[in-house]
Each structure stands twice: as structure tokens, then as C-alpha cells.
Amino acid sequence: MTTSTTYDVVVVGAGVFGVWTAWHLANRKQRVLVVDSYGVAHSRASSGGESRIIRMSYGADEIYTRWSQRSLAQWKELSAASGPPLFHPTGVLWLAGEDDTRLRESAATLKRCGIRHDVLERATLEERFPQVSFAGVSRGLLEPESGVLLARRAVASVLEEATWRKARFLIAHVLPPQGDKPLHYIETANGERFSARQFVFACGAWLGKMFPELLGPRIFPTRQEVFFFASPPGDARFSPPTLPTWFFQADDVYGMPDIEARGLKVARDTHGEPVDPDTQSRLASPEGAAWAREYVARRFPALKDAPIVETRVCQYENTSNGDFLIDCHPDIPNVWLAGGGSGHGFKHGPALGEYLAGRLCGELPEEPRFSLASKATQQNRTVY
């Protein structure tokens, strides 16, 4: 058994929540250690995908609109400082079916927050995007300044920036905390101990394994499949800026244009089956592929016979209603829990890290929506 350096904060988990928390702490001159079992934004992590949408529309949930807005500024700064861009301003087009309540709520929130947007009627959509079938769509809301983050690479860049600010990174598997309250150290599977004043557990879908009694019943990991379709040769209609990122609300399906020639991305936002993030198969199912082919043929008729060129299988780490979990452990006062990204958390990494660093440093009050007390053991999704 070896006990090493004492840190101000140990962050367990190098996904988007962990690395942005480490970045903000290191930026405040805190001595930070980041530990991950598998590496930064690895293929089993929720942050390990190629791309993630950053949009501002959250209906009447203004808190998330403001966090997106705050985060976009930080993502853009990171992107500008990196080599190839990490943010692609493709625009994001939210498409309402018969019921456009949410679209109208989003438009009102965006107006209040001073965010550029255009409401487009069906006829305008058809004129501007003739490569898309808008059957069943009443109108759309376009955010021209939103877009896509290159997820895996962006998380690696944030960690690199944090290490320039003297944070340290280590690959090691952290064991669930035992015994002392407050916690004095974490222990890894190979017997190393790391002590700190405070500990952040940003373990994504693994939070339930780390705190089985407390979070096992409160974090719901679900299987999510993603498909990429190749465009016909020489056809740029499915690439930015011709096609924006999109979400068909009535279908619960989203996707994005062909970025970095990976293909048109399509995925369902409905929750898949419950899974274990360590053992679930990362091969897309034949049923999922058949669904994606049928959907793409219906919404993008020119891609009817397009081949699937890549697939990804990942997991959402849902809370009961989709609100994040960012709170202190109820029994261990120097342990913090950060997770529950619930299929929409990636974009918020910078604002979440800023908020959590502020809480750890005792500067910010608690936001009730992120509290553990508000997390139920039955799912009833209300945040999209």
C-alpha cells in the first residue's frame, strides 16, 4: 500500500463533467488529480462519441438555455485555441409536429436570453431544405449560431489544458469509498492511495456502481445506438452549411450533417434498454440498423440506398427526470457527486465545471434542481 501526494481535489472520471471540473479548479490554482479507469473520453464513456449537439433551446427550462449559452462561449474559446476546430457552427433546427408548444416556449426563452433564432414555417423549410421530407412538421426553430462539438477530441483537449494548469492525470480504477467520514483518501485497485481535502465523483453511468445504495436506484443507464450514412458520390446536400443539425420532435429522432466526412448521423433520443456500461455490447443491433435505414429513407429520400459507414453504441446515464445531479454526498461532507447528463449533458460541461468548482470553493449557493433530494427512484422524463 502506498500513499502519495495530498491534493486539494481528486476528480474521479475523465468524461466531460470531470475534465471541465478539473479545468475550472486548476484555473483557480487548486492542486487537482484526475483519475479514470480507462482513459480520457474512452469508447465506453458517454463522452467518448465523435460528436455532440450544442443547442440553446430547452423549452421553458431557462436554466439549461443559460448554461448552454455560457458553455458555448467556453467551447468556442477552446476550439479557437486548438488545431482543427472542435466546434462546428452548423446551426441547429428544432422541428415541431402538430403540437408546437415547446417550440413556442423555446422561442420565448431564447428571446429573453438574447439568443439569435428564426421560426420557419413549413413552406420556408421546404424551400430552404429540399433534401429533407418535412411530413408531419408544422414549423421549425433554427438557431444559426449553435452546432456540433467534436466530443472525444474536445474532452481530451480540456484535459490537456487542465494539465497545463498543473492538474495531474492518472489511469487507475478507483474503489468505492469506505470508512472514514470525512473521506481522507481514495484507493485504487492496485493499492495506491491519494489523499485530498475534497473528492469529486464524476463517474457517469458508473455512479451507481461507485455508490450502490445511494445511486444504484437513481442513475438509469440505457443503451443508445448511433448510425452514420454515407452521401452519394459528389453530393454535398447533406454536409454543412447546406444541411444543419436537426431534431424531429414528434419522432424523437435527431442527427447532424456530414462532418469531417463521417456521414450523416442519425439516432433515437428515446431511452433504450437498461445496460451495464462495462459489459454492454458495442456492436449496433440489426434491428437498430433496420430502423435507421427506414428512417433515413423516409426523411432524406436521396439517401434511400446509402450505406451505413459507421456505428456507435453508448449509454445515457439518466436521472429520474433528466435534471443533472450535482450535489454533496449526504453522509460524507467532502465528497461531491456529478453526473446524470441524461442524454443532453455534454454541451453543459463548461458551465457544470464552473458551477461545481464554485460550490467546492464555497462561493456558490445550491441550485435545487441539481440536488440529490430531487432525484427520484422512478423515471419520469421532463427535461429534453
Ligand X SMILES: Cc1cc2nc3c(=O)[nH]c(=O)nc-3n(C[C@H](O)[C@H](O)[C@H](O)COP(=O)(O)OP(=O)(O)OC[C@H]3O[C@@H](n4cnc5c(N)ncnc54)[C@H](O)[C@@H]3O)c2cc1C
Distances (CA, A) of 222 to 153, 266, 274, 319: 23, 17, 4, 11
Instruction: For residue 182, say if its preceding peptide bond is cis, omega within 30 degrees of 0.
Output: yes
* Residue closer to ligand X (CB basis): 170 or 302: 170
* Residue closer to ligand X (CB basis): 240 or 339: 339
Q: Which residue has the cell 462495462?
A: 278
Q: For residue 155, give the H/E element and its range.
A: helix 151-164
Q: How far is the CB of 345 from ligand X (least distance, A)?
A: 3
Calpha distance 161→20 (Å, rounded): 10
* Residue closer to ligand X (CB basis): 45 or 259: 45
* Closest residue to bound ligand X by CB: 341
* Residue closer to ligand X (CB basis): 127 or 312: 312
Calpha distance 292→275 (Å, rounded): 21
Which residues in 352-371 are b (16+ Cβ under 10 Å) and which e?
bbbbbbebbeeeeeebeebe
Q: How far is the CB of 380 from ligand X (least distance, A)?
A: 18
Find the radius of gyration of the CA atoms of the chain. 21
* Residue closer to ligand X (CB basis): 5 or 270: 270
3-state secondary structure of 344: coil
* Residue closer to ligand X (CB basis): 78 or 203: 203
Q: How far is the CB of 336 from ligand X (least distance, A)?
A: 13
Q: How far is the CB of 234 from ligand X (least distance, A)?
A: 29
Calpha distance 18→166 (Å, rounded): 15
Q: How far is the CB of 124 from ligand X (least distance, A)?
A: 25
- Locate 219 and state its grid cell: 442513475
Q: Which residue has the cell 456505428?
A: 311
* Residue closer to ligand X (CB basis): 216 or 232: 216
What does the binding site for ligand X look like in residue numbers (CB under 6 A)? 12-18, 35-38, 42, 45-47, 49, 52-53, 173-174, 202-206, 210, 224, 226, 267, 314-316, 339, 341, 343-347
Q: How far is the CB of 173 from ligand X (least distance, A)?
A: 5
DSSP 181-215: SS--EEEBTTSEEEEEEEEEE--GGGHHHHSHHHH
Q: How far is the CB of 130 from ligand X (least distance, A)?
A: 25
Calpha distance 322→293 (Å, rounded): 29
- Locate 252 and state its grid cell: 424523437
